[in-house]
């Protein structure tokens, strides 16, 4: 019953997030095949501040959001949902190879959040003048391979994913390097990543079709694009169960994204601070 409640809560949180740029990365991917069934979870809340990359939306947005971490594994299958890191998200996987610190996994994940003329796919009510008339961009779900290598305090991964939801039918390639530095009771994590997106992906989310075009929003057909990400995350245990956490995430977009008529700037920043209860 407890596991079902946690899964339901996560499902609701996944589809209530605001639209973000494509910055799904994992600064600490240490999942390994388990013997039988295993799971671990924590829950908390945090205060965040971010700027929006969509035109017409507030350049500064802040508020409270849940902080959930759930890791479930059975033999070589696993589910990981992590909001403790700003680049976290939902990942489903199957471990093909886990040997000599190398890993090869089949993974499935959401890469890009959806948005529409309200800015928010699910809970936006008021139409934004600058976005009025655009078609709805849906969430995607991508499946592919992840090759990773673990070192003593660092981790590097490469992914090739393809959309299987029929949203944009494009591909995404991710590479990410992260490092964990313990200092006294603190744990600092930093990482840098580079992603490439196919023209189908870029055009679906950031292109402007003929029916969407108007005087101040011309027809726009972008090509392959990329983004660069930097993330910093810190945790400090207050006691046996409570953990203080904070983080910063910056994403920079290539010309094919930020020159879109519905994109206001070539970067996006987000910071947060919060508490998490670990069971």
pLDDT band at 46 (very low <50, low <70, confident <90, very high): very high
Identify the CA nearest to 48 among candidates 247, 275, 276, 272.
272
Position 206 pLDDT exceeds 60: yes
CATH code, 125 = 2.40.230
* pLDDT computed for residue 33 by the predictor: 53
pLDDT band at 122 (very low <50, low <70, confident <90, very high): low
Residues 6+ apart with CB under 8 A from 277: 42, 43, 44, 241, 242, 243
**How many structural domains are present in the chain?**
1
* pLDDT computed for residue 52 by the predictor: 87
* pLDDT computed for residue 121 by the predictor: 55
Domain that holds residue 89: 2-278
Q: What is the pTM of this model?
A: 0.86
Q: What angle do CA 259, 138, 159 make, to 5 degrees?
A: 75
Position 104 pLDDT exceeds 90: yes
* pLDDT computed for residue 116 by the predictor: 92
What average pLDDT score do residues 146-164 get?
92
55 DSSP assignment: T
């Amino acid at each position: 019953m407890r596991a079902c409640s946690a899964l339901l809560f996560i499902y609701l949180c996944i589809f209530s997030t605001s639209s973000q740029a494509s910055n799904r990365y994992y600064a600490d991917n240490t999942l390994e095949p388990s013997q039988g069934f295993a799971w671990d979870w924590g829950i908390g809340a945090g205060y965040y501040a971010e700027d929006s990359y969509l035109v017409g939306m507030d350049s500064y947005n802040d508020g409270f959001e849940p902080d959930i971490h759930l890791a479930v594994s059975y033999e070589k299958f696993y589910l990981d949902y992590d909001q403790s890191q700003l680049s976290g998200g939902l990942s489903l996987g199957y471990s093909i190879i886990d040997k000599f610190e190398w890993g090869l996994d089949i993974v499935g994940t959401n890469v890009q959040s959806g948005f529409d003329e309200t800015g928010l796919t699910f809970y936006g009510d008021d139409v934004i003048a600058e976005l009025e008339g655009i078609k709805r961009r849906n969430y995607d779900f991508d499946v592919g391979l992840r090759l990773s290598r673990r070192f003593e305090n660092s981790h590097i991964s490469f992914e090739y994913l393809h959309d299987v939801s029929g949203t944009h039918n494009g591909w995404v390639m991710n590479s990410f390097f992260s490092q964990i530095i313990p200092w006294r009771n603190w744990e600092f994590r930093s990482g840098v990543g580079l992603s490439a997106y196919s023209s189908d992906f870029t055009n679906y989310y950031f292109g402007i079709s003929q029916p969407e075009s108007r005087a101040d929003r011309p027809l726009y057909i972008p090509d392959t694009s990329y983004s660069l990400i930097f993330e910093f995350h810190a945790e400090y245990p207050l006691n046996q169960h409570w953990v203080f956490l904070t983080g910063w995430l910056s994403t920079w977009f290539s010309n094919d994204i930020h020159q879109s008529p519905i994109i206001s700037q070539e970067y996006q920043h987000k910071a947060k601070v919060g508490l998490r209860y670990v069971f």
